Amino acid sequence: MRMGFLVNPVSGTGGLAGFKGTDGIFFEAVKRGGIPLSYRKAYLFLRGLSSFLCNRNVSFEIITPPSYMGYSLVKPLLHKCNNVQVKVTRSFRLDTFPSTRYHTLRAIREMIDEKVDFIVFTGGDGTARDVLEAIDEDNVPVLGVPAGVKVFSAVFAYTPVDASLTIQEFIENPTNRKVELREVVDWDPASDGRLITYGYLPVITREGLVQPSKSPGCYNGLEGAVDYILEFMNNKPDTLFLTGPGRTVKFIHERINAPYTLFGVDALENGHVVGLDLDYKSIVDLIKDREEFYVIVTPIGGQGVLFGRGNHQFGPIVLERLKRENLLVVSSECKLRGIRSLKIDTGYPRLDSKFKGYIRVITGYMEERVVLVE
């Protein structure tokens, strides 16, 4: 088989910096502490795939762009596999950093010309839009390794490990391959969070491992949950509460007439805002001298992701210090109805495992549901 593999090297850089994406602001995001997620996520995917391929008696070829768009990651992990050949695309040279969407389009087109059986790309919703444009009417199956700031499209696995397992299944069982048309969506920055559907890609799927699109908000019955959280906060004077993105959480701010950032991380203490649209560095500064703080988040509708989709400001130091019992998850019952289990995709497996297991989700006044985080 022949796999095309591409890494968007700037994907996710805006997350730690508090930006809502990275398109066109890479260097500004880096100045504010942003770090690309794509290499870490691509490595986690390739590590699992290389272990699988090296133990199979099958001939396999990977077509990948030069240097930091693929080859520099693929070659070290797969050079010991005698049955795997790595071929570099030749239609362009990477003589600048970072790459542009032009490079992504050219790379995908060359992979198609090389008659790859499928394409795996590492990036976010912006990268998925570029892949959609490049593939056009060529019916080549794809799968996204999630590495962007938002990752709302239905073309991504939940985690890099899930992407690896999905591709392994696709290679191992040719008679049971599942490919579905899945939508590519992205946030409309001119609206209050409306998602735009740009088109559909043929996506390699596996039940429970490949995410659906983010679904519209569902807020029925949240009043009781907000009352319960505010009462809890009032009983914790001089305690910092970090509130994550999304309408569900920002209802807390609205109830006390406090300003908020709908798609950002804010901070409350004693009923007052002490930080708006915080980036990772600002959050670390806020918590560094505190023995205790709380984080309030809501799962992404339809996907059920708690961390790793639009809230990368809760970076590794924050999650390392956050006590598991100080994570407050709030959701309406109608949102939970469409979610089988909750997911975490920070790119740091040790941190992800810290929050796995059963967790309480606040759904009303003194009403909770126990939901599995896996």
- Please state the rounded mean pLDDT for residues 9-29: 88
Question: Rounded mean pLDDT of the chain?
Answer: 93
**pLDDT band, very low/low/confident/very high, at 20 (cuts 50, 70, 90):** confident
pLDDT tens per residue, range 254-299: 999 999 999 999 999 999 999 999 999 999 999 999 999 999 999 9
Give the Å distances, CA to CA, from 341 to 6, 28, 159, 211, 245. Answer: 29, 36, 14, 12, 20
CA distance 21 to 340: 28
Please tell me whether residues 231 and 147 are part of one structural domain: no
pLDDT value of residue 190: 65
Please tell me whether residues 185 and 232 are part of one structural domain: no
- Tell whether the torsion through CA atoms of 22, 151, 49 and 180 is positive or negative: negative
**pLDDT band, very low/low/confident/very high, at 8 (cuts 50, 70, 90):** very high
152 domain residue, yes or no: yes
pLDDT value of residue 46: 96
**pLDDT band, very low/low/confident/very high, at 218 (cuts 50, 70, 90):** confident
- Please state the rounded mean pLDDT for residues 74-98: 85
pLDDT tens per residue, range 35-50: 989 999 999 999 999 9
Cβ neighbours of residue 231 closer than 8 Å, sequence gap 6 or more? none
Number of domains in the chain: 2
Please tell me whether residues 155 and 237 are part of one structural domain: no
pLDDT value of residue 55: 87
Helix, strand, coil % in the chain, rounded to nearest 5: 35, 25, 40
Least confident stretch, 56-60, 297-301, 307-311? 56-60
Number of H helices, E strands in the chain: 13, 16
Predicted TM-score (pTM) of the model is: 0.94
Instruction: Retrieve residue 204's tokens.
Output: 């390699």
175 domain residue, yes or no: yes
Please tell me whether residues 157 and 67 are part of one structural domain: yes
Please tell me whether residues 168 and 45 are part of one structural domain: yes
Least confident stretch, 20-24, 143-147, 281-285? 20-24
Q: Which domain holds residue 81?
A: 2-204
Least confident stretch, 77-81, 132-136, 204-208? 77-81
Please tell me whether residues 276 and 148 are part of one structural domain: no
CA distance 271 to 243: 12
Alpha helices of 79-145 — where are they, by DSSP H? 101-113, 125-135
180 domain residue, yes or no: yes
Residue 364 has pLDDT above 70, yes or no: yes
pLDDT tens per residue, range 172-196: 998 889 999 999 998 776 666 688 9
